[in-house]
Structure 1
Amino acid sequence: MMNIEEILVQIKDWVWSLPLLILLFGTGFYLTFILKGIQFRYLFFGIKEVLSKSSKRSQGDISHFEALMTSLAGAIGTGSIVGVATAIAIGGLGSLFWMWVTAIVGMATKYSESLLAVEYRELDKRGEMIGGPMEYIERGLGWKWMAVLFSIFGVIAAFGTGNLVQVNSIVESVNMIWDIHPVVVGIAIAVLTALVILGGVKSIGHVSGILVPVMAIFYVVGGLIVVGLQYEKIPAVLSLIFKSAFSGQAAFGGFAGATTMMAIQLGVTRSIFSNEAGLGISSIAAAAAKTDYPARQALITMVGALISTLIVCTITGFVIALSGVQGLADSTGKTLNGASLAVTAFSTNLKGGEYIVAIGLFLFAFSTVIAWAYYGEKCFEYLFGEKSVLPFRILFTLAVIPGAILKMETVWTLADIANGLMAIPNLIALVLLSRVIGKRTDEFIALIKSGKA
């Protein structure tokens, strides 16, 4: 008889089977086609707009920059370190290639989600913007039932992906280096979370605007130093990544080997975990931005997928690949995976490298917790009204503590299930509302070309 963990793994494999992968890639390629490669043509415009000031006619709660940083706070979490390490440990180095492909295609998806979130957002009774898939599904398609489904999955994912997974990974990394009791770490994170999220989206946006750039630069610079020390191995690693992406990776040491399908599945799921393209959830942050045109904020948000996956995740992947620790076992004989694999990879090539991972994980995970608190809050508000906001914030904060003691494998599996279920209604909505996406994009591009944007 199967135990609960085996049942959850089967559900996860069913959710993330070929139909969802086709829907994800198909939607991304379709949006890339109808938008004429928006992620290539206007990437630099989006980057330039990140630091631009909002016009006087703009509506919203937080700045362009704070909205992007909140979106990145939710995306650059443990998926960028632990998620990548898990993908390589199970799916092989080929999973990195599929992460890149998913991120590039996903930039058009992320753009489209953010455009619709701003297009269909509205003010709630507290004077705050509320927008995201639940709003564009209901107001754009008129499908209240599907909007409710998304919101339910969004709340579940907020507690799983945005809370339990993040806290669990913080505890694991802290425990490896400082040996602090998990409950103590959980209580400390809960207090810090309460201090930020009880102040609402403006508090979250302000903290994210400071925390995300600092943590990203810290981790990327640390990772580049490690990569630089092993630069002569880069061509061989690239060759192995591309080869493994299409032919799988043979077993060696404690590595059980990986098929092409395993590489694709792990690459896609971990890429989505790190940039959230297709989930729709990060568009809730875009909906809060002070902006005048939906497409302007969409171009800014699109940059997030480039930073979170193509830069941060790649750094983690290369450090692990160059270190040669894939397939090795720890002191207990268990094959290195997750945070332990990342910590070993960094510390193998750089003295004190384990602190880069530990500090990076803490900052990444904490920023994700506060961003997902906002996402979950808006989904909860959609379901139960404005009066439910404070109870949700309290419940979300308290959920941090059990997250500190749950088993990593179970938590990750639950998070993957919630993400997959959330993606389905969102991707359907993106395809059905593609005419709106195309129209608003054409209007804004015309403004750019005329110099009026």
Structure 2
Amino acid sequence: MLEVINDFLSGKVLIVLIVGLGTYFTLRSRFVQFRHFGHMFSVFKESIRGQAGQLSSFQALMLSLAGRVGAGNIAGVGLAVTLGGPGAVFWMWVTALVGMSSSFFECTLAQVYKRADGDGLYRGGPSYYIQHGLKLRWMALTFAVLLLVTYGFAFNGLQAFTVTHSLENAFGLPVQYTGIGLAVLLGLVFIGGIKRIASVSDLLVPVKTLAYIAVTCYVIISQIELVPDMLVTIVKSAFGLEPAFAGLLGSAIVMGVKRGVFANEAGLGSAPNVAAVAAVKHPAAQGVVQAFSVFLDTFVICTCTALLILLSGFYTPGFEGDGIVLTQNSLAAVVGEWGRVFISVALSLFVFTCILYNYYLGENALQFLAGRSRAALLTYRGLVLALICWGSMQNLGTVFAFADITMTCLAFVNLLALAMLIKVGLRVMRDYDEQRKAGINQPVFDSAKFADLDLDRDAWPANPAPSEDTIPVAHGLAQSHR
């Protein structure tokens, strides 16, 4: 019964919601992800600079990439290609393109309605913009409960299962010992709270991402003459024009969209929880940064995995096996047996940072539900660590199906809220665009212009003082000349 419900919700309803509303947001915003594409790189560079005692936009980006760049980029892409053929990659790209606009608005709104937590940090996310933007407390509580159950508990057990069994296959390590070791390492990070989680992600995410991209690029460059034809095959297969994959047209669309959504999480309502923690001058700047993370996740990392598989010569139509095995064997076919070990190590790093991300999402939901209860927080940490130990030794197929259902419900609640708050998102976007058009390099959010919104004045003061980066370029030159 769970499988039937899951297939309907995540295989049909979720696809229509993600693609349909993503397209709607793209049109309403006048293609914000394309208009700001070049700007994304400059905002990404500026995001590295943070304020003392607060998390920078770059750290928030690394934390969100900790969750986005995970098992879905390895096993998920392999599964999509296995069941949908090369055409599934094209539909992953399409999903990411429209998803970039959804990510822009959900992360911008998370910044708009964030709350200062009293320790110099911020909390925010869909529960906060539902409560303070829509005034629907019951809907906000529903989202928080779904987020806590899905990410805080279910997905952490599944991630633990994935990494411990991958290490067992690669090195023969007993799952019970690797599960305990994983729990100990994670516990040390959990104790430090969001700052330590962000610091660890800040270190591990660039390392794991760049190392993985470097190895996959080596495979791609070593067979660069085959890449143009393979890209043509991907596009033709997406529309059923490649004879060898003509029978997979329906599967290509379904698997491409489904795996694309699960890889980049655009529109699901997870990334806004970490996007809200950053100290930024304007909410839309964080929206731009998070839209860039969707691009990086899908167009760079997922594409690297897909080309690795398709160029290796190992993959053939009708391949039977899971996504991890396909990716491991594909890399080994090109670089030798060390490729299997590399995939296992890369997957371990991916999963470790994913669990940190999942844990924080659950903690954020818990604080929304229970306030700053120390007892609730310690109980939550203990349950998560116990579940990681237990999950590393169990087959969690039923839990996985249940988590898929709750995650689809998460996406439904979040996308409905985004559609209802789209006018606020557009107002904030226009304020950002107008300041940039006036020559301001780093626009500043003045809450006085949005006095009708339920904002936290500690997070967004009225009439903020401009800095050198927020003075219009022409005015700055004139002052310099005088």
Q: Which has the larger radius of gyration?
A: 2
How much has 1:22 moved relative to structure 2? 1.9
Matching of residue 200 in structure 1 with residue 188 in structure 2: no
SS in 2 for 1:386: coil
Using the TM superposition, name which of 191-200 and 398-407 deviates more.
Answer: 398-407
2:68 alignment counterpart: 75
Shift of 1:218: 0.1
d(CA) in 1 for partners of 2:25, 2:65: 22
Q: What one-letter code is carried by the residue in structure 2 that aligns with 1:277?
A: A
Q: Is the 8 A contact 2:57 2:279 kept in 1?
A: yes
Using the alignment, how far apart are the partners of 1:243 and 1:165 within structure 2?
35
In structure 1, the residue matched to 2:279 is 290
Cα distance in 1 between the residues matched to 2:435 and 2:151: 37
Query: Structure 1 counterpart of 2:321, which letter?
Result: L
Asked whether the 8 Å contact 2:71–2:351 carries over to 1, the reply is yes
In 2 relative to 1, CA 55–416 (structure 1 residues): closer, same or farther, beyond 3 Å? same
Give the one of 365, 389, 401 matched to 1:413.
401
Q: Quick one: which of 366, 376, 382 aligns to 1:394? A: 382
Cα separation, partners in 2 of 1:204 and 1:395, compared to 1, 3 Å: same
Between stretches 242-251 and 63-72, larger displacement belongs to 242-251
Q: Please, which moves more after superposition, 172-181 or 217-226?
A: 172-181
Whole-angstrom distance in 2 between the partners of 1:55 and 1:346: 37
Q: What is the aligned residue count?
A: 438
| 3-state SS in 1 of match to 2:239 | helix
TM-score by length of 2: 0.85
Farther off after superposition, 417-426 or 231-240: 231-240
Q: Tell me, in whole angstroms, the C-alpha distance in 1 between the residues paired with 2:229 and 2:317.
A: 20
TM-score by length of 1: 0.90
Equivalent position of 2:269 in the other structure: 280
Read off the aligned partner of 2:24 and give its amino acid letter. Y
User: d(CA) in 2 for partners of 1:419 and 1:258?
Assistant: 30
Please state if 1:190 is matched with 2:190.
no
Instruction: Tell me the amino acid that sits aligned with residue 397 of structure 1.
Output: L
The one-letter amino acid of 1:356's match is F
- Equivalent residue number for residue 30 of structure 1: 24
Per mean C-alpha deviation after superposition, the further-off stretch among 100-109 and 243-252 is: 243-252
Listed one character per residue, the Cα deviations across residues 35-74 of structure 1 (whole Å, up to 9, x for unaligned) are: 1111112123222222326899x79941111000001001
Pick the aligned partner of 1:262 from 251, 256, 281.
251
- Ranges in structure 2 where 5+ consecutive residues have no aligned partner: 443-482
Question: SS where residue 284 of structure 1 aligns?
Answer: helix
1:326 counterpart = 2:332: no
For 2:330, give the aligned amino acid: A
In angstroms, what is the RMSD of aligned CA positions? Answer: 2.4
Tell me how far apart the structure 2 counterparts of residues 184 and 87 of structure 1 sit (CA, whole Å): 32
Q: Are positions 1:210 and 2:195 aligned together?
A: no
Once the two structures are superposed, what CA deviation does each residue of 1:259-299 show, in whole Å capped at 9, x if it has no partner? 43322222122112211101111111110001121111111
1:174-226 CA-to-partner distances (Å, cap 9, x unmatched) read 12210111111111111111111221111111111111111110000000111
1:11 aligns with 2:5: yes
Are positions 1:361 and 2:347 aligned together?
yes
- Structure 2 counterpart SS, 1:405: coil
Q: Hey, what does 1:4 align to over in structure 2?
A: none
Q: Are 2:162 and 1:163 equivalent residues in the alignment?
A: no
Instruction: Indicate if the aligned counterparts of 2:152 and 2:360 stay in contact, CA closer than 8 A.
Output: no
CA–CA separation in structure 2 for the residues paired with 1:417 and 1:177: 31
Structure 1 residues 408 and 172: alpha-carbon distance in aligned structure 2, compared to 1, 3 A threshold: farther
Partner of 1:350: 335
Gaps of 5+ in 1: 1-6
Alignment match, 2:289: 300
Query: Cα offset for 1:161?
Result: 6.4
In the TM superposition, residue 319 of structure 1 has moved relative to its aligned partner by: 0.9
1:41 corresponds to which letter in structure 2? R
Percent identity between the two aligned chains: 34
Cα pair 1:173 1:340 within 8 Å, conserved: no
Is the 8 Å Cα contact of residues 55 and 121 (structure 2) preserved in structure 1? no
Q: Please tell me whether the aligned partners of residues 16 and 265 of structure 1 are also in contact (alpha carbons under 8 angstroms).
A: no
In structure 2, the CA distance between the partners of 1:201 and 1:367, relative to structure 1 (3 Å rule), is: same
- Residue 115 (1) aligns with residue 115 (2): no
8 Å CA contact retained: 1:249, 1:259? no
In structure 2, how many angstroms separate the alpha carbons of the residues matched to 1:400 and 1:8?
23
Query: Post-superposition shift, 1:34?
Result: 1.7
Contact 1:110 1:277 (8 Å CA) reproduced: yes
Q: Distance in 2 between matches of 1:328 and 1:17?
A: 22
